[in-house]
Amino acid sequence: MINQAGREIPDEHLVDGIEVFQGQYYREEYEYKKAGPKVKASIKPKESKLVENLREAILKSELKDGMTVSFHHHFRDGDYVVNMVMDEIHDLGIRDITVCASSLGTAHAPIVRYIEDGTITGISSSGVRGEIGEAISEGKLKNPAYIRCHGGRVRAIETGDIHIDVAFIGAPSSDEYGNARGKGGKSDCGVLSYAMVDAEYADKVVVITDTLAPFPNFPPSIGQQDVDYVVVVPEIGDSKKIANELLRFTTNPRDLMIAEYATKALVNTPYFKDGFSFQTGAGGPSLAVTRFLKPYMIERDIKMGMVVGGATKPMIDLLEEGLIGAIMDAQAFDLPSIASANSHPRHFEISTSQYANPMNKGAFVNKLDYVILGALEVDTDFNVNVITGSDGVVRGAPGGHVDTAAGSKCSIIVAPLVRSRIPTIKDSVITVTTPGESIDIVVTEVGIAINPRRKDLLEALQGIDLPIMTIEELRDEAYRLAGQPSDVLFEDQVVALVEYRDGTLIDVIRKPKKISFDL
């Protein structure tokens, strides 16, 4: 069946009530009963939930073949937890496991062999970077992978689309009774937002830490009332890779140009007034926008009412200068943000559900005025691809892209027109991650395109000294420079399903065909 984004979804995946994508607000007022975990009461007092080691914890959690385990990715490229746990699960001979991670990255390449040998037969994740993505694209995973954005993962868990049997929650510090925090240890990550839904909805919850804190380790991100076992390991991760020392400000002149145009466009839209809300990513141009906004804010005496994070140092600086009212944080990227989270009186940790779940009673993304986002590809319908690379292999992550674009009043894509010969703006994206109706402005170093749906923004930016072009003109310029690209060729086999935040299917990813141009 063809969905509203123009993509063909094979009928064999439209079972058990799964529908095709029918618009970003299609499921407005959708009613459901929340799912819940099976809980074993702990009435008899006990001093501690500590178990000897991971193996013990897995055995006690009664993990069996065919079950689902979950992980968060607050430790980013420095994570040791996923590999540690999967090694143990494999060694215990448990098979046919579904891994429900908030994201998987290059640090998790070692689990590819578990995909190959059938230990892991299902994956739900936002990111599928590096070798894991390659393995999925080659069709090595038994069941098609589910690519879910942050809000979508929470929705899937809270509605019961996914049931987590055992959640493994890495924590920088925990007490013996399971109160876990994102700080107080050897490798702090600041917040544990992604893990909160796991703790509340998984049948069994195992906290893994390398720093045992005195009881009670308060205020906890993960509470003792949800935790079954606590395991102490030598190291939960590589602290240098968990927190970027300092995200470097880009000095790339192209990125700076893009950021300047994006900032100039933003400040000329009607939402730029005192108390505006804002979110941006950690990539080159995105981070630079945060810096470039400051002089405009000071000149017009405008403060940011709320920033939703991913938090980074430039934001912390603005917070400390009194230019931001509050930071609502779902992920801390660097050391300054980690230190500020839960210490600064206006820097708050929020759960991923509070942040982006489309099916609760109102998430923070709905209160956003602006979001600055990246893109691998954008097509002439303004659809965005952040998952598949130019060769058709899965290598990216939707993250909060889909959620923030849908919720914000003005979503702005920042990207170079062409990346190493690959046009960013093209006729049709390889994979639709975020539908065009959610994207308002596209900024490249060559020109800016405004979604024709947004006549109000077109009017606001008329007469401003900015290179406004149509999206077709941007595509033409990209093709003129790089040449018209050939379509990437795929086999029929579906290797991954791209789920929209509301549970409908917005696209499928197939196995790329092997090609050669040798003579």
Partner 1 sequence: MNLLHSSIAGTVESSDIQIMISPRKEGIELILESSVLSQYGAQIRKTILEVLKRLDVKNAKVVAVDKGALDCTIKSRVETAVFRAMDQKENLPWEVM
Partner 2 sequence: MHPGKKRVRRTMMFLNAHRAGLVKDAYIYKPDSVIFDLEDAVAENQKDSARIQLYNTLKYMDYKGTEKLVRINGKESKHWREDVRASVAGGCDGIRIPKCEYRSDVLLVEEEVIKAEKEFKRPIGSTLLMAAIETPMGVINALELAQSSERIFGISIGAGDFMRTMHAKRTAEGYEMLAARSQLVLAARAADVMCFDTVHTDVNDFEGLRKDTELIKNMGFDGKSVVSPKQISVIHKVFSPSEKEIDMAEKVIYGVEEFAKEGVGVFIVDGQMIDIAMVEGARRVIDLAKASGVYGGEL
Nearer to partner 1, 2 or 519 (CB): 519
Q: Could you tell me the sign of the dihedral formed by the alpha carbons of 485, 105, 36, 351, in that order? A: negative
Listed in sequence order, the residues at least 6 apart from 484 whose beta carbon sits closer than 8 Å to its beta carbon are none
Nearer to partner 1, 151 or 284 (CB): 284
The window from 156-164, 211-219, 341-349, 389-397 that contacts partner 1 (CB under 8 A) reads 389-397
Instruction: Report in angstroms how near the CB of residue 395 gets to partner 1 at its nearest.
Output: 13
Q: 46 contacts which partner out of partner 2, partner 1, none, CB within 5 to 8 A by kind?
A: none
Q: 237 contacts which partner out of partner 2, partner 1, none, CB within 5 to 8 A by kind?
A: none
Listed in sequence order, the residues at least 6 apart from 346 whose beta carbon sits closer than 8 Å to its beta carbon are 319, 324, 325, 326, 327
Q: If we measure between CA atoms, which residue out of 249, 199, 475 comes closest to residue 351?
A: 199
Q: If we measure between CA atoms, which residue out of 330, 426, 422, 411 comes closest to residue 73?
A: 330
Q: If we measure between CA atoms, which residue out of 181, 217, 105 comes closest to residue 338?
A: 181
Q: SS3 for 316?
A: helix
Which member of 124, 390, 434, 438 binds partner 1 (CB under 8 A)?
390
Nearer to partner 2, 88 or 255 (CB): 255
Q: How many CB atoms lie within 10 A of CB 268?
A: 17
Nearer to partner 1, 396 or 512 (CB): 512
Q: 518 contacts which partner out of partner 1, partner 2, none, CB within 5 to 8 A by kind?
A: partner 1
- Asked if 59 touches partner 1 (CB under 8 A), the answer is no
Q: Are 452 and 404 in contact (CB under 8 A)?
A: no
Instruction: For the chain, give the longest Cα–Cα distance.
Output: 75
Q: If we measure between CA atoms, which residue out of 195, 204, 203, 200 comes closest to residue 169?
A: 195
- Asked if 446 touches partner 2 (CB under 8 A), the answer is yes
Q: How far apart are CA 356 and CA 71, in angstroms?
A: 18
- Asked if 420 touches partner 1 (CB under 8 A), the answer is yes
Residues in binding contact with partner 2, number by CB under 8 A = 11
Instruction: Report in angstroms how near the CB of residue 253 gets to partner 2 at its nearest.
Output: 4
**Could you tell me how many residues make up the chain?**
519
Q: 486 contacts which partner out of partner 2, partner 1, none, CB within 5 to 8 A by kind?
A: partner 1
Q: How far apart are CA 122 and CA 165, in angstroms?
A: 14
Which member of 130, 283, 325, 485 binds partner 1 (CB under 8 A)?
485
Nearer to partner 1, 105 or 423 (CB): 423
Which member of 35, 232, 257, 323 binds partner 2 (CB under 8 A)?
257
Which member of 35, 339, 466, 488 binds partner 1 (CB under 8 A)?
488
Q: 480 contacts which partner out of partner 1, partner 2, none, CB within 5 to 8 A by kind?
A: partner 2
- Asked if 264 touches partner 2 (CB under 8 A), the answer is no
The window from 176-184, 185-193, 230-238, 249-257 that contacts partner 2 (CB under 8 A) reads 249-257
Q: 390 contacts which partner out of partner 1, partner 2, none, CB within 5 to 8 A by kind?
A: partner 1
Q: If we measure between CA atoms, which residue out of 180, 177, 174, 167 comes closest to residue 222?
A: 180
Q: 251 contacts which partner out of partner 1, partner 2, none, CB within 5 to 8 A by kind?
A: partner 2
Q: SS3 for 202?
A: coil
Restricting to residues 456-515, name those near partner 2 by CB under 8 A: 465, 480-481
Q: How many CB atoms lie within 10 A of CB 52?
A: 9
Which member of 391, 459, 476, 491 binds partner 1 (CB under 8 A)?
391
Which member of 60, 95, 113, 254 binds partner 2 (CB under 8 A)?
254
* Helical spans, DSSP H, in 344-409: 352-356, 401-407
Nearer to partner 1, 2 or 515 (CB): 515
Q: How far apart are CA 164 and CA 203, in angstroms?
A: 7
Nearer to partner 2, 254 or 409 (CB): 254
Nearer to partner 2, 137 or 444 (CB): 444
- Asked if 512 touches partner 1 (CB under 8 A), the answer is yes
- Asked if 445 touches partner 2 (CB under 8 A), the answer is yes
Listed in sequence order, the residues at least 6 apart from 86 whose beta carbon sits closer than 8 Å to its beta carbon are 99, 110, 111, 114, 119, 120
Q: If we measure between CA atoms, which residue out of 171, 166, 165 comes closest to residue 231?
A: 171
- Asked if 15 touches partner 1 (CB under 8 A), the answer is no
Q: If we measure between CA atoms, which residue out of 281, 279, 326 comes closest to residue 303?
A: 326
Where does this chain bind partner 1 (CB under 8 A)? Answer: 390-392, 420-422, 481-483, 485-486, 488-489, 512, 515-519
Where does this chain bind partner 2 (CB under 8 A)? Answer: 251, 253-254, 256-257, 418, 445-446, 465, 480-481
